[in-house]
Amino acid sequence: MRGQDYPGLGVMVRSLLGAVLSASIVLLTGAIYAQTAPKVVPRVTGNGAPMSESPIPPFARPITDDRRVMRNYPEQPPVIPHSIDNYQLTLRTNRCLDCHRRQYTEGSGAPMISVTHFMDRDGQVLADVTPRRYFCTACHVQQTDAAPLVPNTFQDMLLVHEPKQ
């Protein structure tokens, strides 16, 4: 009676065919949906077809009026309100620190680096800029006249809920 432990060949074939049929239906349904799904997010790569070569748009012009702009949300890194073309930012040289380091701000008129840039991961205050905050352009970007890539209806919570006078 050893044959009783194994299902018949017909049962195995039916199970396998059922699994293949189920997988085919799932894949076909997914492919059809992908072709007909509504486009929720607008394209930000331009009008060219994917994987085609299209002309590169010109770089946005930097705004160089040296005016600080209001931040859009708490803890937003401030934008850089001046040109940073040809600024050297390497392991050995950081031109930003020539004006923004604590001891140079009085002469340059530039705002001092935030105290948080001197703290390590454990919250210990260091004598100089911590290595994880050394590369300024990892967080700070140059302010430009670039048009938004997608429509934006953001409103600052503080300005929207400001009491009327």
CATH number at residue 157: 1.10.1130.10
Residues 80 and 114 in one domain: yes
Residues 87 and 155 in one domain: yes
In a domain, residue 27? The reply is yes
Query: Average pLDDT, whole number, for the chain?
Result: 81
**Cα(110)–Cα(105) distance, rounded to whole angstroms?**
5
Report the number of distinct structural domains present in the chain: 2
> Model confidence at 9, in pLDDT bands (50, 70, 90)?
low
Q: Are 95 and 88 in contact (CB under 8 A)?
A: yes
Residues 90 and 157 in one domain: yes
The token duo for 39 is 């486009």
Look at residues 140, 133, 103 and name the one whose alpha carbon lies nearest to residue 118: 133
Residues 86 and 150 in one domain: yes
Residues 25 and 97 in one domain: no
> Model confidence at 140, in pLDDT bands (50, 70, 90)?
very high
Residues 148 and 82 in one domain: yes
For residue 103, give Cα distances in angstroms to 26, 34, 118.
65, 58, 14
Q: Are 125 and 118 in contact (CB under 8 A)?
A: yes
Residues 31 and 77 in one domain: no
Residues 70 and 124 in one domain: yes
Q: What is the pLDDT of residues 14-37, one digit of tens each?
A: 888 888 899 899 888 888 877 776
Look at residues 145, 148, 138, 143 and name the one whose alpha carbon lies nearest to residue 84: 143
Domain that holds residue 157: 59-165
Please name every residue paired with 142 in a beta bridge, in sequence order, or none if there are none: 80
Residues 93 and 144 in one domain: yes
pLDDT score of 45 more than 70: no
DSSP for 13-43 reads HHHHHHHHHHHHHHHHHHHHHHHHS---S--
User: Higher confidence at residue 161 or residue 130?
Assistant: 130
In a domain, residue 52? The reply is no
In a domain, residue 45? The reply is no
In a domain, residue 75? The reply is yes
Write down the pLDDT at residue 7. 58
Q: Are 144 and 60 in contact (CB under 8 A)?
A: yes
User: Higher confidence at residue 51 or residue 104?
Assistant: 104
Residues 29 and 69 in one domain: no
Amino acid, single-letter form, for residue 106: E
**Cα(86)–Cα(41) distance, rounded to whole angstroms?**
36
Q: What is the pLDDT of residues 90-130, one digit of tens each?
A: 988 999 999 998 889 899 888 999 888 999 999 899 988 99
Residues 26 and 68 in one domain: no
> Model confidence at 156, in pLDDT bands (50, 70, 90)?
confident
